[in-house]
Structure 1
């Protein structure tokens, strides 16, 4: 069951990436990020308020919100710090790079998660899983060669380093999620509610320094419908992902890989929507990534 929940998370993540590209194109990154997190928080907050007014019905339907300790709040705040840093880097990179370059680099995230799962959680890979992960990494390297044709130097372009950093932090957060869900027994909605709230507070601090004081930057920001869509789609994806993690048999290394199937939407449809170049050549590497993911699924 947890694998199907992972595929649902991938579906919403793919749509989320398309909307995110639309939201940041030619726009101020930090207020867009704040808007997406805030819209996702309001989406979750609606369920939170309903659960308070009709707790019995919420408990019956499985979306009650837990009362948690100060220590648990601290652990959630750490996750907010990790993901706020990852999103700031990712949104800046997405603004300056094609989505068909950003998405494959992000697809290397399972490799970092894979290593962490072995060291921290002692998850045991088999030969097919090793082959699948290395095939994904090799395919990402092929993408770097295609990127040079679009004037992107992978050694000198700072946005490439930004998206690599965002990928590493995102993978770290994925490993941390397993600890929060399984070790602290947090349910998805409780984690999402407090995580979003703390992330908003962190982003407000960043914007107070980098955006609010500057009139030119404030005027450069354009509100778009996709900002709201990004927040809602991301929270939907996270809900199914966290539900999958609640299963004691769920392997974080495989869940991380399954989520990469979002690239079908992001690269194929995104390439058509945003009219990006070299789509056919990128499709070759995309097939390599999909084969890698397929090997991981087959191995299970």
Structure 2
């Protein structure tokens, strides 16, 4: 069951990435990011209010947000800081790079998660799962060769390093999620609510330094309907992901890989919508990534 929940998370993440590309294109990144997280927070806020006013009904609906100790709040703040840094890097990269380059690089995230799962949680992959992970990494290398034809030199482009950094931080957060969900026994909606709350506070601090004081940047910001949609789709995806992670049999390295099947939507549909170059050539490494995911799931 947890694998199917992972696939649902991948579906909504793919739609989330398409909206995110539209939201940040030729736009101010930081207010877009704040808008998306705020929209996600507003989606979950009724669950928090309902948990205070109608706890029994919310428990029956499995949407009850529990009271947590101060120490647990500290652990969630750490996750918020990690993901805020990851999103700042990822949104900046997505603004300056084609979605058909950014998404496949993000697809290397399961490799970092895989290493962490083996070393930290002692998850034991088989031979073919090892092959699958290295196939994903090799496919990302092929994308770098295609990227050169679009004027994107991976070794010299700072936005490539930004998206690699974002991928590493995102993978670290994925490993941390297993600790929060399984060790601390947080339910998905409780984690999502407080995570959004603390992430908004962090982003407000960043914007107070980098955006609010600058009139030219404020004027450059463009409101788009995809900004709240990014936040809503992300929260739906995270809910399915966290529900999957609640299963004690769920392996974080496999869930991370399943989530990357979102690249089908980003590369195929996104490439058509945003009219990016070399779409056919990108299908070759895309097939390599999907083959790697297949080996992880079915061997």
What interval of TM-score do these two structures reach, taking the shorter chain for normalisation?
Answer: over 0.9
Determine the structure 1 residue equivalent to 2:77: 77
CA drift of 1:213 comes to 0.2
CA drift of 1:54 comes to 1.9
Listed as ranges, the matches of 1:150-165 within 5 Å are: 150-165=150-165
CA drift of 1:173 comes to 0.1
Q: Which structure 1 residue ranges, 4+ long, deviate > 6 Å from structure 2?
A: none
Partners in 2 of 1:114 and 1:101 — Cα distance?
22
Secondary structure in structure 1 of the residue aligned to 2:123: coil
Q: Aligned Cα RMSD in Å? A: 0.5
Determine the structure 2 residue equivalent to 1:244: 244
Unaligned runs of 5+ in 2: none
Determine the structure 2 residue equivalent to 1:166: 166
Asked if the contact 2:47–2:65 (Cα under 8 Å) also holds between the matched residues in 1, the reply is: no
Partners in 1 of 2:234 and 2:135 — Cα distance?
27
Partners in 1 of 2:60 and 2:193 — Cα distance?
19
Asked if the contact 2:19–2:229 (Cα under 8 Å) also holds between the matched residues in 1, the reply is: yes
TM-score by length of 1: 0.99
1:194-234, Cα deviation, whole Å (9 max, x unpaired): 00000000000000000000000000001110000000000
Partners in 2 of 1:175 and 1:278 — Cα distance?
34
Secondary structure in structure 2 of the residue aligned to 1:89: helix
Determine the structure 1 residue equivalent to 2:227: 227
Partners in 1 of 2:41 and 2:285 — Cα distance?
36
CA drift of 1:280 comes to 0.1
2:49 is equivalent to residue 49 of structure 1: yes
Unaligned runs of 5+ in 1: none
TM-score by length of 2: 0.99
CA drift of 1:155 comes to 0.3
2:188 is equivalent to residue 188 of structure 1: yes
Secondary structure in structure 2 of the residue aligned to 1:159: helix
Determine the structure 2 residue equivalent to 1:279: 279
1:13-62, Cα deviation, whole Å (9 max, x unpaired): 00000000000000000000000000000001122222322211110111
Determine the structure 2 residue equivalent to 1:17: 17
